[in-house]
A and B are shown apart, each in its own frame.
Chain A
Amino acid sequence: MTDTMGAQAEAGTPDGPGAKRYVRPYGDTTGDGMAQLSFTLPVPHGPRADGAAQQLANKMGMDPAMVVHSHPIGADFTFFVVYGSVSHLVDLDTVRVVEREFPLLTPSEVNADVKKLLRRKLVVVGACIGTDAHTVGIDAILNIKGFAGEKGLEYYRELRVVNLGAQVSVPELVRQARADKADAVLISQVVTQRDAHILNTQEMSAAFREAMGDRRPLLIAGGPRFDPLMAGELGVDRVFSRGTTPGEVASYLVHAVRTKRGATV
């Protein structure tokens, strides 16, 4: 890849900005490549620190790089602001993004969609199954307190949340899900040994299939040791792994209900 290619692509596009294949950052002139950057180095403030910042910026592809500001943070650190032109080009044709199979919705969009789809509240039953007593995960998703700045599912007006807590047995979970007419069952597994999280989840999904067949609720498993690709093996509809936020789960629920309806109606 050469600069000329980029220049040609940028210069020779009569179809407007959307048609460009190669792009670089825009400061105040097309193709100037200007970017800003701030960081801290564990170096005492002074000319040597500024030089070190310059070198880092150069290595990051910024050339020329201007260290426009630096100040000490304590005796051992220096903070920098750097402006400069980056030499890299972005080839838009090679950009690959992981597509989530569902759009992320805001709480009010989730509420509106549930209302429209079901004309009643969507019932979510959650539990930690097996011997796992760590409700951190299920509580982060369900409690109004939420996680990562997002409110938990309890916050959603059109969701009715039943949190059964920890150490819930599978028969108990099935019974409760039935009693509450659950649309979705969320199970969490945080601390497990010897693949207990897998066996527990398989036991759970088998029990729901046996008890309710096709009328079973959506089954969703979550926990840091799960891999999202394991849904089939576990017999559940969706697996969420580390770092999942309540908003993602809520958005998925809307998506799954919509898909299910589409299939059956």
Chain B
Amino acid sequence: MTAPPAAISPTGLLNLDPTVVATARRLAARAAEPVVAMARAHTTVAVERATLRLAGITGADSTHRAGDVPWVNRVVDTVREHCGLEHGAVLPVFHALREHNLGTLTELAEATAAGQVRYTVPDGRDRDRAAKAGRTAVARGLRTVDRNRAQRDRLVGRLGDPKQRPWIYLIVATGDIDEDVVQAANAARAGADIIAVIRSTGQSLLDYVPEGATHHGFAGTYATQENFRIMRAALDEVSKEVGRYVRLTNYASGLCMPEIAVLAGLQRLDMMLNDSMYGILFRDINPVRTFVDQRFSRQVHARAGIIINTGEDNYLTTADAVDAAHTVTVSQLLNEHFAHEAGLPDHLLGLGHAFEINPTIPDSFRLELAHALLARELFPDAPLKWMPPTKHMTGDVFNGYLLDGFFNLAGVLTGQSILLVGMMTEAVVTPFLSDRDLALANVRYVLGAAGALAEDFRPAPDGLIVTRAKQVLGEAVDLLERIVDDGLLNAIADGTFGLMKRPADRGKGVDGVVEKADGYCNPASELLESGQSEEGATA
């Protein structure tokens, strides 16, 4: 099983009032309720594309004058033009497949590009047939996802999880997948347990997923199905060599969140960055689009056994880490609720937080410990992701190395589960080979010297750490009350999070949101909601 082993998790050190904690969760659920209802009532072009990808469509139209257009975009765009997406793409697509007597979705896509297909929403027996055929195809895709999950469990069983907590998370990002493979293998040999391949700048705003192996990213490498496959295969090799299962991370965020989630499930990725509000706040993606896409992508992640990583660290890079500490807690509670609602259990919930307090303010390290412990105790069973300082890394690499050491110490002392390794060259250059090596040496030293220090760590009951943690939780409850009164979408519109104002009817990708009609049909949603797998699966 991929359930993480119990870390040396301090609990009960803060003596949090259980009724306050329960209130916070209840408020988060109430704040999320209307958003979940809205997410259920809508679909998006990306959800429909993700569904067709599960049903087996692959490849791209390389003859189009605008460059490679994925077949799935051609098909969904054409369906929308002909008969709308209110009923979902599956009915018109599988109806057309039968009407034109075509064997595969790719053939259908080619015929679509040639202008030979007229899509309609079938009814009566035609509808039932199309729905059934679609369900069979989607179930086949889900079986691949299920097989990958079982394969991961087998490999973890055979090779083992990392011996220590926190797991060590390293980023590679060269823009060229072949170069990434070399760097990732070296990082794993040097001690990384998790490899994250950062995406090319701006991919989150592309309304399609690029195809094939790519070699020219900007400050990162494009997330494509083929790149996923190449990297996972390389890490399987190196996992055997280092004797532990090395996990692979990518980003299910932006306009193609649901599709990337599906591709991750199909290629056995292990973790995905997937935040409920990041795209809205930091990429100006339409809020409705984001919540609809997010729900579907989380259902896929739940099915695939993928650990999600949420992005609360980002709030602290824009707002002050002390003043805005409670917004992190609120976002974690909302992320938790949305994740549970989509079927993700606690052990797949990598809630994020970060070491971003200005190091020149007095007691900054004690405040960091208070915030980190609060997250640990609020979410005892979640594999929390602890993010290194970025905002106060100045280019003074010597000072940065010290700060990263304190970050590592806070991580082990408060029982964090996943530790993103900080680089002293943050905000200077992409890390040198030696920077990564020194960063890992820093982690090893702290783990070796203080890995079990949590045993001796008992913050004073009325001390600054305990008092501060309670204060932040109190402020989080206050904010949640305001959000419940105001409505989450209004709160987002008013700039409650990360200082950004994002109205529900604006933002990128708003054109891709469609209200579902009564007869909406999406076998992927049905199978994911019900947790069924083998149904309709005649090979």
Contact = CB atoms under 8 A, between A and B. Distances in A.
B281 A144 contact: yes
B218 A38 contact: no
Interface in B267-297: 281-284
B433 interface: yes
Contacts of A135: 202, 205
A157 to B, nearest CB: 8
B113 to A, nearest CB: 19
A133 B69 CA distance: 14
A189 to B, nearest CB: 15
Contact of A74 (B66, B186, B427): B186
B228 to A, nearest CB: 22
Nearest to A149: B427
A146 to B, nearest CB: 9
Contacts of B186: 74
Interface in A109-150: 133-136, 139-140, 143-145, 147-149
B433 A163 contact: no
B284 A163 contact: yes
Nearest to A165: B508
Contacts of A145: 282-283
B427 A144 contact: no
B190 interface: yes
A37 to B, nearest CB: 12
Nearest to B319: A155
Nearest to B498: A144
Interface string A221-247: 000000000000000000000000000
Count class of interface residues, chain A: 20 to 34
Nearest to A39: B434
Interface residues of B, number: 26
Contacts of A154: 284, 500
A208 interface: no
A52 interface: no
B110 to A, nearest CB: 24
Interface in B45-89: 66
A77 interface: yes
Contacts of B283: 139, 143, 145
Contacts of B178: none
Contact of A151 (B318, B427, B437, B438): B318
A109 B284 CA distance: 25
10 tightest Cβ-Cβ pairs between the two chains A and B: A136-B202, A149-B427, A145-B282, A40-B434, A73-B437, A79-B434, A136-B201, A40-B433, A144-B282, A144-B500
Interface of A: 38-40, 73-74, 77, 79, 133-136, 139-140, 143-145, 147-149, 151, 154-155, 163, 165
17 contacts: A40-B432, A40-B434, A73-B190, A73-B437, A77-B433, A136-B201, A136-B218, A143-B282, A143-B283, A144-B318, A144-B499, A144-B500, A145-B282, A151-B317, A154-B284, A155-B318, A163-B284
